[in-house]
Structure 1
């Protein structure tokens, strides 16, 4: 649908009508729609500015129910959020609306509680990976996606361990041997070539791949493991590139940093694992080839995750020996302040969302469930940091909702 449909809400001068501010719910809908804009849709750029300005100014004057909806929307719009985590908050807000449909509310609570019980059963299998399971639930919340949740929870845990290993615990010489073993065979037979200190994590990586292959064999889909190994090798190689920079005290240019960082952020690896683990779906070879390619949606999703991760973590990381974040690279290359670098990062992130939206709304040979695997890791990064989310209201650890 053309964005021209929104012209009905504008005056002759192209500005949005002030009378729209009377309808707060309508203003919220226009705000949410603006986040689906693609490049060149100026009317939706205007809509975003218009709605944000008015929603922010009217927020303090609204009743509690509407104020909560507006505050939540301004904090993170629906399109960039994780559906299941957003549902928990929306149920609580909808409950306070006088015009609510009580039957719909009851079913929403029952649906939430049934899934909550499914998650709790699975969590018993992953008691040592509790924190990472919250992320897995965000990526795969449908009840039939149990295998994808469990395997994704495990790979998220492995990502954290490997990240710490490369960043803080291993020597450069140990990382050389570790990376060579992964690139050469990605198999337990290469264990002897890995230093003793890193053999435990190498074994964890290989055992994960073997477990994944065994699971896929049950359905005659063991050939899918090839794509997981391809992305695993790319990811480890990108980590080693960062280790080389750190070892040589090298300060990369922005473009060089981002080219490597969009792999090291592991969005493609997570998307690949997620996709090949989906049950009861026919996934073509073309789709599997796509997830390991350099598609624009995967690239944009990786850029968003990397920059958000840098925003959240670059202060802490620069307090210890670490490669520069995008902020440091941009400040040095362009001779600007941290605030100016932050403004540039926000622009890059906005354009990345437009790239994602373009892929989502245009006809594609890639099925929607595959495109979802590309953007859900980014929604996860944008929505919360797992450690913080565990202790927030509305998180997975909340008690069950009372349906009635």
Structure 2
């Protein structure tokens, strides 16, 4: 190594959080009391859900409230039975709100509900009837339903444009309307594309303002949110200490342990998945280390050695005697933590050691793709958009993140689930494309200020000779297509994996939608990302 070695170094913004979450303590007596109250309230809500005296429409609204308030994981059996009833019985809802809610609930849970139900809301000229614009709850419900659209569903495309225009008008002209805040929020963040815990927190706030709110259900949601927050904060405290010890020898990596925890929490937020969160969190941290090692530190020669070592899982330093200490540290972190003894021991205890090879395979694919991008950067090579996406789909990391998120889960995540993830099905490919293209649209200007591989934007501009603005438009269309692929796999694959597997992929890409909405949120976490973390882990909830 000489002083002339050129590195793609970058001075990333420091952690916004510092040591805030390192020493967390909670009022254990209060949490114990809230936990007891949650158990009592769960029984009351369960009685509501199985009450045969309520109408189908009332049950559907109750299921929706339970889900949106973030306590659906307590009533999975009751919700599943209720949705099956909604799907099995012939329903011809005449009001827009109920018809739209019925459609959305079914599609979000894997039922192929037909969009033909919305034809009745059109006039003789084929346009949505003008009288609908005064039905604000109905318009909002239809708007949310349109985000479950797939290919060839022109009526939902029309409905999206129709509702978006009129809901924007409502926000601008009806400042005192009780649904104004909810409409305004939905226009920025549709429910289907939002991360579940943030959606629950926001919906708690909206519900507090509803005159016809279900007080029992709302109290359950608030207490449960506080109890779960205490669990999350304890986990975050533990992994932050772990990260501090791990990253101290790697000064070039981004300190984003809080943001990584938020990300993996978004994929596995349910109470029973604490072990899975910790395992996937550690995997996520190592992916972040690798990303910065390949993107913002190592030379091509060094990265080739590191890639070879990871591919062969060699535990001998003589394999790369001339490698810099930082890169040796990265490799031994891989061997000793993610790779995989610590995680393998945890899985072996539960009789699930068969899961480890899937994660190892995904990691090997990831570093090979990182190396390819590093070589492109070194050669100033601008690939075609198709060539770029073949590699970038791997560096999108949805495959490894999904594998990581289910490593520590229970027996309902079977070998078949891991086979499905590793086979790179349409849903995984769509999520990877969406992740990478969204990332590039938001972050390419910042990245190109230093040595960096050409992004999807540069590739598109170079190949087609268009402006950046035109490239943005076409790449945005790619993300819309990817969402249609995701939705299609969600509702049109009855022979595929169960919903609880598909939801991990959806939750991963929902987080991308949230934190990359306006800016490269992971790198510039101090701008918008911090607000999401405040909302989830810091901002108070009034009981």
1:365 is displaced (CA, Å) by: 2.8
Question: For the Cα contact (< 8 Å) 2:279–2:407, is it kept in 1?
Answer: no
Distance in 1 between residues matched to 2:539 and 2:148, nearest whole Å: 33
Measure how far apart 1:73 and its partner are. Answer: 0.7
Which range is displaced more, 309-318 or 233-242? 309-318
| Alpha-carbon distance in structure 2 between the residues aligned to 1:365 and 1:135 | 25
| 2:368 corresponds to which of 201, 216, 237 | 237
Stretches of 4+ aligned residues off by more than 3 angstroms: 189-192, 391-394
5+ long unaligned stretches in structure 1? none
Q: Residues 70-98 of structure 1, C-alpha deviation per residue, up to 9 Å, x if partnerless? A: 11111121111111111111111221222
1:208-257 per-position Cα deviation (integer Å, ceiling 9, x unaligned): 22211111011111111000000000000000000111122211000000
Q: Check 1:174–1:298 CA distance in 2 against 1; reply closer, same or farther (3 A cut).
A: same
**Selected match of 1:382 from 488, 500, 513:** 513
What do the CA deviations read for 1:242-295 (whole angstroms, capped 9, x no partner)?
Answer: 0111122211000000110010111110001112221x3333322211111120
**Whole-angstrom distance in 2 between the partners of 1:165 and 1:340:** 32
**Per-residue deviation, 1:121:** 1.9
Q: Counterpart of 2:360 in 1: which secondary structure?
A: helix
| Structure 2 counterpart of 1:337, from 442, 453, 467 | 467
1:135 equivalent in structure 2:
263
Once the two structures are TM-superposed, the CA of residue 64 in structure 1 deviates from its matched residue by 6.1
Tell me the residue number matched to 1:203.
332
Structure 2 counterparts to residues 316-327 of structure 1, below 5 A? 316-327=446-457
Bigger proportion of residues as helix: 1
SS of residue in 2 equivalent to 1:309: helix
The structural deviation recorded for 1:189 is 4.1
Of residues 103-112 and 314-323 in structure 1, the stretch that sits farther from structure 2 once superposed is 103-112
SS at 1:252's partner residue? coil
Instruction: Confirm or deny: 8 A CA contact 2:393 2:433 kept in the other structure.
Output: yes
- 1:27 partnered with 2:139: yes
Shift of 1:138: 1.1
Q: How does the TM-score come out when normalised to structure 1?
A: 0.95
- CA distance in 2 between counterparts of 1:331 and 1:143 reads 46
In structure 1, the residue matched to 2:347 is 216
Instruction: Determine the structure 1 residue equivalent to 2:487.
Output: 357
Given candidates 290, 307, 319, the residue that maps to 2:420 is: 290
Are 2:230 and 1:117 equivalent residues in the alignment?
yes
Partner of 1:290, secondary structure, is helix
Superimposed CA distance per residue, residues 96-146 of structure 1 (whole angstroms, 9 cap, x where no aligned partner): 222222222111101111111111221221123333211122111111100
Q: Note closer, same or farther for the CA distance 1:133–1:64 as it changes in structure 2 (3 Å cut).
A: farther
1:191 CA drift (Å): 6.9
Change (3 A) 1:133 1:65: farther
SS in structure 2 of the partner of residue 204 of structure 1: helix
Contact preservation (8 Å) 1:179, 1:240: yes
Q: Does 1:126 align with 2:236?
A: no
| Residues in 1 aligned to 2:422 and 2:509: alpha-carbon distance in whole angstroms | 17
Q: For residues 5-404 of structure 1, what are the structure 2 equivalents within 5 Å?
A: 5-62=117-174, 63=176, 65-127=178-240, 128=243, 129-184=257-312, 186-189=313-316, 192-193=319-320, 195-197=323-325, 198-207=327-336, 208=338, 209-278=340-409, 280-362=410-492, 363-384=494-515, 385-386=521-522, 387=525, 388-392=528-532, 395-403=535-543
Superimposed CA distance per residue, residues 288-319 of structure 1 (whole angstroms, 9 cap, x where no aligned partner) = 11111120000001111111111221111010
Secondary structure of 1:321's counterpart equals: coil
Judged with a 3 Å threshold, the aligned counterparts in structure 2 of structure 1 residues 116 and 64 are, in CA distance, closer, same or farther, namely: farther
Cα distance, 1:190–1:6 mapped onto 2, change above 3 Å: farther
Q: How many residues align?
A: 401
Distance in 2 (alpha carbons) for counterparts of 1:30 and 1:218: 48
Which runs of 5 or more structure 2 residues have no equivalent in the other structure?
1-112, 244-256, 516-520
3-state DSSP of counterpart to 2:350: coil
Label 1:46 to 1:77 Cα distance change in 2 as closer, same or farther (>3 A): same
